[in-house]
Structure 1
């Protein structure tokens, strides 16, 4: 398929943002829950075409940051801009229509529905006929439209190599396959920006390699800009163009993977100062500790 397209369709989202231009910008975002401050004055930007990673210890605010971008949370302070326009007044559905997709750390599939139907859910915002009335009758445009959407979904199923489970209830699948189905549903939105919350968590080495291959393809072949949370530092250092590190809701480091890995603040807060740990990571990534 052409770069920047899924199933031959150009993703939605208004004006086209070219590679190297800012697609997403987070400006001084703070998030509080009562007396708990989850994020404190977080700022960063993501350029179109980047694979951008957010790392940090558990409880650092990483998922809270993705929730602010995707619309599940509204920042207490600050702003989130997409293609130069604020997202604060945009609903979750609006953000999907603009071209923002995401996966979840805790799987959010419909377990009783088939794999195919779970992925079709990701296409609902693209339908011209009303989902609850127009598609209930197999006549005219509604039928033509549904057949076209099913073809798009089949292309995604082929890409992620889940043809053999396409008709199975999602809740009966192995954890690794359910992770692929969740990625497929996010792809079905045809996003320009896709937010991946720990896409490789809980997987064995072979499953991680598969997902890493798909993530690289989404970025390099499909042209999707990716913001990824991931704890596997080898994966982060191998795949990322740039990285930020959160600790207690604050950015403590930002830059290229090499620069972040060498940052003393990161070593203390996240990687630990144990020489054997750092040596092992350096050997894995090919960079000096």
Structure 2
């Protein structure tokens, strides 16, 4: 039978699959902001706004993620850092799901033409707190997973020889993830100095990684040099975000690019480890 360690690893991986699905397909905070902007008007003015004024929430349901979470939770073994957060997230999504499905039906059947938006107004008071609860549960779950992965990789790092390519790659990835944590805590009036300092550390680590890749013989796989290019772009977008926050401008565009580039860097990192066995941590 598999060891408790192997069971915990399989379970943590299943949790990560659910998390990736959530992040990709359900930008819930953005949708809540759009919903509020478009719906507050409708809820005040009601049927005066015309047939299609009622704005549907934009997420049909959470069936896929709920299924993935249920499967992960049901796996044998324990991941103490995540199990409770996963159960909380599952409960929040299960509570929100029927409301979303009912509103989807309401929209597709154009029922709002028949009842003068009565159901929309009733559901608004139920929907918003449920979405807010789901957003909060997602954030806590995502943070717990992130922290666990960082702790695991720090332990791995300690076992690798100082100048090994695998160590340099893992070290850059860890430094980058710490900067992403700083990015996530940035608000409109935030002090951007800690974020900029973290980006400086990423820049140093990435430069050393590039030098290591250049010195490898035979040459490092192209996906590995691609990773260093992606990380360099990410640093640029991060510095743009900091500049806009300092200037009290709107950082949403560079912030979106930062997120997209970070997701690309995760894929590049995985490709590099897969394609070049010299950068795998053993």
Same fold (TM over 0.5): no
Alignment TM-score, normalising by the size of structure 1: 0.26
Structure with bigger strand share is 1
Structure with bigger helix share is 2
Q: Which has the higher contact order (CA 8 A, sep 6+)?
A: 1
- Which has more radius of gyration? 2
